[in-house]
Amino acid sequence: MKGPDRESNKTLQYKDISAVRSYYASVLYSIKRNGLRNKLFLALLAIPASIFGYYYVDAEYKAIHLKFPHEYLIYLALASGIILITIILTINSVSFINSRKIGKIKDEFKKDLFNCICIQIPELKDLSYRQKLHPDVFYTSGLFSSVHTDYIGDDLIQGEYKGHSFELCELHVYRIFKQIFHGLFVRIEIVSGNINIEKLFNSLDQGIRSLEVKHNLVIDLSLNTFLFMAIRKEGKMFEYQNVNELDEDVALLKDVVELVKVIIRLLHSA
């Protein structure tokens, strides 16, 4: 999905983060309210269904003159099982329909949000909200050596500044029950090959420390064919369930992009 030049009448209604937050907060409230209403309706529906099942079994029991109580219980269990299966299938059907709706809402939320972010951060050019950086990129950084069992990520953002392209996405990397990495992972293209790594990292040290304190992060850097930045943070960014935290997420993204720009300017001056 392209950034500011993307044409969508619905998306262009939202020019700032507060408008996106207000709209999707109301949508989320409606989803929760309707979900609770549906669950209560199905729970209430189970009551007359159970009563019907009981009287149906009782009538059948009397009609065919069953002699043993266990036969009555078998009939009652069968009727109860049919009712229970019907209710479960109905709930699953409703859940499936709701999940499809929620999936569409997530996509619309990411599109509207990214459009607003691109207005504030013009260096960002493209968002692929179902994609992530490849594991080979992650391990090429040299910051991690553990083999993963789960490699989860999304919101791959591509940008450009002064001829240098950069990419970042959220990654959640685990090995069985051990967390390897959780946060933002950034890769910055290096145009010049003549770089004093120690001088570069010393120049960045103060800015990185202030960013860590401001957002409660842990940031690691490495440099080989690309410059890599692993930003450890708690929680997940840009979730439609957490619309009230959008300002904090956008502020962090702005600061990360500003740090990327500082790095690129230092690379240019190297």
Domain boundaries, position 179: 124-269
Do 82 and 174 lie in a common domain? no
Mean predicted confidence (pLDDT) in 84-99: 71
Model pLDDT, residue 12:
43
Do 36 and 61 lie in a common domain? yes
Do 265 and 176 lie in a common domain? yes
Query: 66 pLDDT band (50/70/90 cuts)?
Result: low
Do 180 and 114 lie in a common domain? no
Mean predicted confidence (pLDDT) in 155-176: 92
Interacting residues of 177 by C-beta distance below 8 A, sequence separation 6+: none
Query: 111 pLDDT band (50/70/90 cuts)?
Result: confident
Mean predicted confidence (pLDDT) in 40-52: 69
Domain C-terminal end among 120, 154, 181: 120
Model pLDDT, residue 49:
66
Model pLDDT, residue 224:
85
Report whether pLDDT(73) > 70: no
Report whether pLDDT(269) > 60: yes
Structural domain contains residue 9: no
Do 263 and 161 lie in a common domain? yes
Query: 182 with 233: CB under 8 angstroms?
Result: yes
Model pLDDT, residue 124:
93
Domain C-terminal end among 100, 120, 140: 120
Model pLDDT, residue 192:
66
Mean predicted confidence (pLDDT) in 217-225: 91
Do 143 and 232 lie in a common domain? yes
Total number of domains constituting the chain = 2
Do 254 and 236 lie in a common domain? yes
Do 103 and 146 lie in a common domain? no
CA–CA distance, 253 with 200 (Å, rounded to integer): 22
Query: 7 pLDDT band (50/70/90 cuts)?
Result: very low
CA–CA distance, 151 with 154 (Å, rounded to integer): 10
Do 169 and 96 lie in a common domain? no
Report whether pLDDT(163) > 90: no
Give the C-alpha distances (Å, rounded to integers) separating 184 from 30, 38, 59, 140: 31, 37, 65, 16
Do 146 and 48 lie in a common domain? no
Do 94 and 151 lie in a common domain? no
Residue with more model confidence, 26 or 254:
254
Predicted TM-score (pTM) of the model is 0.74
201: helix, strand or coil = helix
CA–CA distance, 212 with 104 (Å, rounded to integer): 35
Do 261 and 136 lie in a common domain? yes
